[in-house]
Structure 1
């Protein structure tokens, strides 16, 4: 897949605070690329630089063959974290207005809007004022506005925030379908379970610096050590004496045994003593959520931090 967006050596500071520190990544056509990090890590600043809302102090942003100020914004769809639609305007009017700003044919926009309203369970709402919609409905309308003009690059900042599980599933399906049809998607979200399920690659930023960058499977293999979850009455001290154990977290009859890197999981299981009380047992890698927490808090769920490239 070819890179449709390339961010090279991006830097941005506000007064004496370096918010983005020499970061680089790219987004390929037809993929979902996740940009992750704790609050204040520099994600939104990075996105605003891509969108031309802010301008970098140094570095280059390339979209197709365009760079920095010459990037054609009408080829980009953007769902900002701070939602905002004109509240006393009818749904169809605001969708057509935003499509017109993107130089998209209005007849085509109207038909696509009707199709999307039906798909997102908003059929018959086209003449309703935005301020009469529920929060979830309003978010659906803003999402439709971000994709109505068939963008080549779609930037989604916290798209699942405030959605019920059914609507989340609907958004997930549509985002995946857009990527399958060739749209390049840059996704920022704090809902790690959804990111882990959807993203092809990820870029994790912390304090303005790149921490992890690579394909999801490679990142999990490189940085997500195994952990064993055991339901049963066992002494923490005895679990800590098992081979290759990094640390143990225990609450009542629930124990999580974190293991060192590069163990053979089958061989490790064979070494468990027969005296161990096991009502349930699960062996898997730590989740993307746990990797995120490790980066943000230094809990040392990972043995090492670095970089993965595919």
Structure 2
């Protein structure tokens, strides 16, 4: 059977529906991209499916789907581990304007997920679906926002993928107010990436700040806003800045006793800048390369015991 992201998402959702029989409360994720300190209790397992879609570049059409199928396990009440299976789909058509990449064929089909051989051939479009490898995640909660003014945690995630290998580190911060109805959260992210392109391993790194708020205005329904302040660098150790961009958008979260769902959208604002080797990837006062105008995410979670 031919593999597609849609089939993977459908299969995992059906599997989770068949398995979720617990009446325990789920470890909710109120935000689209921000990790909070609401971890799984000791011995508890939760299934989570994430589907992200990015679309829109400065020319033509460009769309990527990224699926992450996850199992979370509470080792202790303050330490959680998880494993992910990652999959992707990319559709691109005359979406790139960087003359260093396109040469005389501007616009060309290029960018994240598009092999250089496709760009060099002058193809007007490209589409690919496949598995992208796996990730392991560990989160340790140092202080709990339920009992402390500021909850603090640390996060580590290594990824081995078909398109990239990465090491991601996060500092997690969270404060709860108004009887825990208002959640303010922030993640400081550092990442080292090894991008795989036509037999070459490209050295990149990233430093991001994610901030957001979520307010529960009905017993089962919350909504809020989140922002991403994004910085790309050339080299594994953040040696040379290449790009800066800002993304902002809303989120909404609904929770039942034994399942929850979250949806979020963030849009790239004008004012993105490019430096040094990334200078060709800024068009129309925004950053492109592996970035898009819009990013959408939907997450659903079920406890399994």
Same fold (TM over 0.5): no
More strand by percentage: 2
Which structure's CA Rg is the greater one? 1
TM-score, structure 1 normalization: 0.24
